[in-house]
Amino acid sequence: MENGKKSLTWINLPQGKVASLTIKATLINGTSKNTDFLTIVKNPNFEMPHDKTLDAGSNSAIKLEKIKNKGWDIDIKALNTFAQTEYIVIQDYKGDEVGKIEMAPNSVENLDVKIIPVVFKSTPAKETTDAQALYRSAINGGKLINTLNNKAFSQIGVKCIIAPITPSLECIVVDVMKDN
C-alpha cells in the first residue's frame, strides 16, 4: 500500500493450508494513535490470527496498531473450499479500503496422468518387464506424484492422479530395425 495505491496480491490457498504474509504500509498522519492503524476485515472463509494469544477460531477483524516500518507478519488459513474469487479487505482508521488480498478460487480439479513407457522391440515378455520397470522408475516410490501435487500444480488447484500399474501395462514399442 505504498503512495496511497491499492495493492492486490493473488493467492491460491487450498483448504486447511496456511500462508504467511507481511503487510507493509506507510504512515498517513505521523504517529497519532487515532490514525496509526489498519484493520483487516473478517472474511468467513479465512482465519487470520495476528495476535497468537487470541483464540484463532474467533476470526475477528484484526487491528494492526502502531504502524511499523518493517510491517506485520500475519498467517492466513483457508477454512473452506470456494469456487469464486474472495477478497480480504484492509481498511485505514477511517474505514476506507486501502488495500486487499485477492484469494483465487481454491476448488481442486483432478487431472488423470497416464504414464506410457517406451521400450525397444523384443519378446512380449521382455517388453512387458521393461515397461513395468520404466513405470516404477518414473513414479519413483511416490516422488513423482508428490512433486506434481505439491510443487508443480499446487498453485493452480490441480490434483494429479496417476493410473496404477496393470499386468498388461500399455507401452510404446520401438523397433530400431525399422524406420519408425
Q: Residue type for 81, please? A: T
Cβ count near 6 (within 10 Å): 10
Q: Is the pTM of this model over 0.85?
A: no
User: 176 or 9: whose pLDDT is higher?
Assistant: 176
Using one digit for the tens of pLDDT, what is the confidence trace for 16-31? 989 888 877 765 555 5
Spatial strand order of the sheet with 46-47 comes to 18-23, 72-78, 46-47
Any idea how long the chain is? 180
- pLDDT at residue 140, as a whole number: 85
Using one digit for the tens of pLDDT, what is the confidence trace for 54-109? 444 444 556 666 656 667 788 899 999 999 999 988 887 788 888 888 998 898 88
The CATH architecture of the domain made up of 2-103 is Sandwich (2.60)
* Closest C-alpha among 112, 125, 137 to residue 167: 125
Burial category of 16 from C-beta neighbours within 10 Å (exposed 0-12, middle 13-18, buried 19 and up)? exposed
**What mean pLDDT is reported for the chain?**
79
Maximum alpha-carbon separation in the chain: 83
- pLDDT at residue 111, as a whole number: 92
Q: How far apart are the C-alpha atoms of 121 and 178, rounded to whole Å?
A: 10
pLDDT at 14 over 60: yes
Residue ranges per structural domain of the chain: 2-103, 109-174
In this prediction, residues 5-14 reach a mean pLDDT of 68
